[in-house]
A and B are shown apart, each in its own frame.
Chain A
């Protein structure tokens, strides 16, 4: 079975803390993504990476950065956590941008910033 794993299911952090969310996939996919999901807002793309050390901003990159040093691992960094970053964070990967390919998601990290 294909697998996308995320480092934590639940995380509670304080305002101003630096937060690291890790994602690992075992499918040798080039493309990896970070989304956040909030009630009524659907999935919003934060960053994506189409190769090692490559990254592109999504729709809402402010307050976030990413790192992709190895093909299988894509990290999301909240430089200084704020309460409006309380959300469900979802990592996904897929082989290519064509509609022929499916995306695989991790289980999600529910982050609460207090």
Chain B
């Protein structure tokens, strides 16, 4: 899987939108951009993924830059339950089975 770069940590206020950035300048044309999060003492949780177009689901939105070298996970209204480590991962068409998590971004949400 190609490399991604994320800030180590971010802070947000409850009820406000949060934009979590991810840089992936070496992304290839067949790489999907995946986001997972992991709450304390829990298994990782799938959030969203996309290839080229922006994606929305009930948890979040994924905004993908036109050149695909960066993306942003958007939580529209942060809650205390969104405090977690968020991982941005690239997976190619023949990605194989294993997921490899990098350092991720630790999101802290203040009440």
Interface residues of A (CB under 8 A from B): 4, 31, 33, 42-43, 45, 48, 50, 58-59, 90-92, 97-100, 102-108, 110
A81 to chain B, nearest CB (A): 21
Q: A98-B93, A99-B93 are in contact. Are A58 and B98 (CB under 8 A)?
A: yes
Contact residue among B30, B93, B97 (Cβ-Cβ distance under 8 Å from A45): B97
We find that the number of chain B residues with CB closer than 8 angstroms to chain A is: 25
Determine the main DSSP class of B at the interface with A: loop
Q: Which residues of A contact B94 (CB under 8 A)?
A: 97-98
Q: Is B43 an interface residue (CB 8 A)?
A: yes
Distance between Cα atoms of A59 and B45 in the complex (Å) = 22
**Chain B hits for A50, CB < 8 A:** 97
Which B residues are CB-close (under 8 A) to A97?
94-97
